[in-house]
Structure 1
């Protein structure tokens, strides 16, 4: 055997191996293609089932939507009633706010002098009550008081009460004891 024969033999073996490899690849490709063929054959049946299910789904959705519309129609009067109640409540509360604002403005515009006179009178009444209670306690604690001393003490107390009333009026006039409303 010569080198040419040996080269031809090697080329023949290479072609044989290549043919075996290609046969296996082609055999696998034939299997894949037969699987695709089976899938393609089953596809029209599956599409028919899918379209049938889709039709059923659309029909069910339509029925559900119709049922929902009927129920909403029955609830519409309820929503209208709630809306009317809300409007009435809003109207009532706005009129109440107007009344409160009006009363507040009237109170703010009250005559300051009358308020001061009332406060001065209250201070005078409080001072008189304090003097009366204090004098009653002194009388209870003392055994006997001479009339002259009692008269002088009463005159002094009356003077003190008048002085306190005057101080209360002055304090009320300058607003010393009033809260700052503004």
Structure 2
């Protein structure tokens, strides 16, 4: 065998080994692609189910929101009707405060007049009593 034939033989063996390794790698890649394909199919199936469930849930949520909006509008309308009541209660409170202030002023005035009258009345009684005692002495 000549050197060229030996080199060709080595190249052929190296090429055969390379082909074997490539076949092994391609088989593993093929299995991996198959597994990925299965996973993608399962994911798509799951997404379809989740999408259906989400659609149903969104429909229910929309219905609840519509009912909530209707109820809120009703409550707002009813609360609007109570505004005059609270205004009247506020006005009544102002009137009661004014009445309390007026009553307090009247009470203070009456108390002042009563004190003056009481003091004057006591002085008058003491004076009369003294005069009466004086007269009785003179009469004796």
Query: TM-score, normalization: structure 1?
Result: 0.44
Relative contact order higher in (CA < 8 Å, ≥ 6 apart): 1
Say if 1:14 and 1:94 are closer, same or farther in 2 by CA, change over 3 A: farther
Q: Which among 50, 53, 76 is matched to residue 65 of structure 1?
A: 76
Q: Of Structure 1 and Structure 2, which has the larger fraction of its residues in helix? A: 2
Tell me the SS of whatever aligns to 1:39. helix
Displacement, 1:90? 5.2
Q: Name 2:35's counterpart in structure 1.
A: 24
- Residue range with higher mean Cα deviation, 85-94 or 40-49: 85-94
- TM-score normalised per structure 2: 0.56
- Offset, 1:49: 1.5
Structure 1 residues not aligned, in runs of 5+: 98-182
Compared CA separation, residues 90 and 32, structure 1 to 2 (3 A) = farther
Aligned residues: 100
Q: Which position in structure 2 is the counterpart of 1:35?
A: 46
Give 5+ residue unaligned stretches, structure 2: 1-11, 109-140
Instruction: Give 3-state SS (helix, strand or coil) of 1:2's partner.
Output: helix
Shift of residue 18, structure 1, vs aligned partner: 1.1
| Deviation sequence 1:28-79 (CA, Å, 0-9, x none) | 1221122112222343332222111101001111122222233343333222
Indicate the larger mover: 82-91 or 72-81: 82-91
Is 1:45 the counterpart of 2:41? The answer is no
Q: Deviations over 1:79-126 (max 9, x none)?
A: 2110222344457778999xxxxxxxxxxxxxxxxxxxxxxxxxxxxx
The runs of 4+ residues in structure 1 deviating greater than 6 Å are 91-97
Cα RMSD of the aligned pairs, angstroms, is 3.1
Spell out the pairing of 1:134-173 with structure 2 (5 A cutoff). Answer: none
